[in-house]
Amino acid sequence: MSKPNLQIALDHSDLPSALKDVKNVGDIVDILEVGTILLLQVGDEAVKCVRAMYPNKKIVADTKCADAGGTVAENVRKAGADWMTCICSATIPTMKAANNEIDEIQIELYGDWTYEHAQQWLDAGISQAIYHQSRDALLAGETWGEKDLKRVQKLIEMGFRVSVTGGLDVDTLKLFKGMPIYTFISGRGITAAKNPRLAAEQFQKELIRLWGE
């Protein structure tokens, strides 16, 4: 089973602090995400800056796009993103339009969605999904547990490459041991750490311990 990727989510509210963190850990993580919060504050300038710093890394624009998929995808692709996200409640035409304009889209699983919807995404040629514990659900007391593992496993069995995110820390990773998770996405687990570089290294070390090189 391959080692899951580690993705950093840059959810900063200003560009200088996002760039400082990505400069610090960009060589350690596998994928760079320009997070929704940063995109809303700064726009595609954030993607352009991260691309200029890391010409060869995979970059995700976490647009959580709900409409105008083709236009949003074209814009973030031109800024330098490889992938972007669409919210799971977007229509299939929105998802398809985005998928036609960029290398790949990822479906962000928030709120209500069903496995029937998931099959429609696969039928539309979309095979990446992001399983979330949202910030607000975590704040309301939600935790990672068996129910999440079951849903993630089912999505993997359906044929998705599944990324997992939401309040992850190094200790959370072992919950998923034995599962072929595509990517773990961490924002605050790295950027809010006292030493973000050390935190990113510890994530990678634990991924190697649990999944191998």
In angstroms, what is the minimal distance from the CB of 122 to ligand 5RP? 22
In angstroms, what is the minimal distance from the CB of 139 to ligand 5RP? 10
Helix (H) or strand (E) holding 85: strand 83-87
CB nearer to ligand 5RP: pick between 17 and 119: 17
Tokens of 206: 């634990």
The SS3 call for residue 165 is strand
The Cβ of residue 190 has, within 10 Å, a number of other Cβ atoms equal to: 28
CB nearer to ligand 5RP: pick between 80 and 189: 189
Nearest to 2 by CA among 175, 212, 176: 212
User: Is the Cβ–Cβ distance between 87 and 109 less than 8 Å?
Assistant: no
In angstroms, what is the minimal distance from the CB of 180 to ligand 5RP? 20
CB nearer to ligand 5RP: pick between 167 and 196: 167
In angstroms, what is the minimal distance from the CB of 144 to ligand 5RP? 11
User: Is the Cβ–Cβ distance between 107 and 126 less than 8 Å?
Assistant: yes
DSSP-assigned beta bridge partners for residue 164: 131, 184
Tokens of 136: 């607000």
In angstroms, what is the minimal distance from the CB of 62 to ligand 5RP? 5
User: Is the Cβ–Cβ distance between 130 and 165 less than 8 Å?
Assistant: yes
CB nearer to ligand 5RP: pick between 69 and 189: 189
Nearest residue to ligand 5RP, by Cβ distance, number only: 187
CB nearer to ligand 5RP: pick between 34 and 126: 34
* Positions that interact with ligand 5RP (CB under 6 A): 9, 11, 35-36, 62, 132, 134-135, 165-168, 185-189
CB nearer to ligand 5RP: pick between 11 and 21: 11
Check residue 183 and give left, alpha or beta (phi > 0: left; psi -120 to 50: alpha).
beta
In angstroms, what is the minimal distance from the CB of 123 to ligand 5RP? 25
